[in-house]
């Protein structure tokens, strides 16, 4: 049997993104949400997730957007003069390579983010990282440790080898997907004992923010037997969102896709079952 978990990342980053994600849960196919802790909308986001029964909740550990929850002195290489994260994933990785001791401060910040979400009595089923930074071996090992310490049963594992034909379509996205998948698989090999934590394969990264119906159908046709997570970024594309997150994402398009009857029919045609991470846990 093929089981599909459709995840919306970035819940809590911006009201216009949150509006699209809520709609995707209530009216569409979203079955899981990755929640960002270090935002002003945490209370509203957590209460929404507690008061619905369809989508499970995960944590989108963050080192690149907004302000850290803890004081910034120990995280100084990762923040600007106003105390906000720098917004650049490569700066995080370079800082960790140059200053291995920074990992301790990252662990403390991520523990604060996990505890901030758990303080709302919200059951957390999965950990992943904003910008997929947990593919980096040092951070991957830390995320496994945190999942074990907090009893979180799943960690995202990027498992998407992009077809060579996609290289000509978008070289930048192709190389990004290839790189983070290689790093994820290297990280997985370094983990000799994940305990009770399950590494759930995830796809959709190479098309982040640019997903189309045709591409979604193509990827679904390649899914293996078992449980697979598919990540997307639904929302409302507004000028405010574009200015705050200049990623050139088509949030509108991905929201409309998640709401479409055609996608629902395609999932049914392929004999796939849509589940969330709580239901995935019950299957194991």
Note down the domain range covering 208. 2-283
Q: What is the rounded CA–CA span in Å between residue 243 and residue 230? A: 27
The tens digit of pLDDT for each residue in 248-261 reads 999 999 999 999 99
127 token code pair: 């950990």
Task: Give the chain's radius of gyration (CA, Å).
Answer: 18
121-151 as b/e, with b when 16 or more CB fall inside 10 Å? ebebbbbbbbbbbbbbbbbbbbbbbbbeeee
CATH code for the domain of 162: 3.20.20.370
Residue 138: pLDDT above 80? yes
- Cα 80–85–88 angle (5° rounding)? 100
Is the pLDDT higher at 21 or at 88? 21
Average pLDDT value over all residues in the chain: 90
Q: Please count the structural domains in the chain.
A: 1
The tens digit of pLDDT for each residue in 177-202 reads 767 777 777 777 776 566 668 989 99
């Amino acid at each position: 049997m093929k089981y599909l978990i459709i995840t919306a990342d970035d819940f809590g980053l911006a009201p216009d993104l949150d509006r699209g994600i809520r709609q995707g849960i209530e009216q569409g196919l979203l079955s899981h949400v990755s929640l960002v802790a270090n935002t002003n909308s945490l209370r509203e986001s957590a209460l929404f997730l507690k008061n619905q029964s369809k989508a499970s909740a995960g944590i989108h550990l963050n080192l690149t957007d907004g302000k850290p929850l803890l004081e910034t002195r120990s995280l100084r290489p990762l923040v600007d003069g106003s105390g906000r994260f720098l917004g650049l994933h490569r700066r995080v990785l370079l800082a960790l390579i140059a200053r291995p001791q920074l990992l301790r401060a990252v662990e403390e910040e991520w523990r604060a983010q996990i505890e901030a979400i758990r303080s709302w009595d919200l059951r957390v089923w999965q950990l992943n990282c904003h910008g997929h930074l947990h593919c980096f071996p040092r951070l991957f090992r830390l995320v496994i440790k945190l999942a074990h310490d907090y009893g979180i049963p799943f960690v995202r594992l990027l498992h998407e080898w992009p077809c060579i034909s996609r290289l000509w379509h978008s070289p930048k996205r192709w190389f990004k997907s290839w790189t983070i998948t290689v790093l994820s698989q290297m990280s997985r090999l370094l983990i000799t004992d994940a305990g009770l934590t399950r590494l759930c394969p995830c796809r959709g990264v190479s098309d982040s923010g640019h997903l189309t119906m045709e591409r979604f159908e193509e990827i679904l046709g390649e899914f293996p037997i078992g449980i697979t997570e598919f990540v997307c970024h639904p929302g409302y594309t507004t000028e405010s969102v574009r200015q705050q997150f200049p990623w050139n994402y088509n949030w509108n398009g991905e929201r409309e896709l998640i709401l479409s009857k055609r996608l629902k029919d395609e999932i049914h045609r392929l004999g796939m079952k849509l589940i969330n991470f709580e239901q995935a846990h019950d299957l194991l």
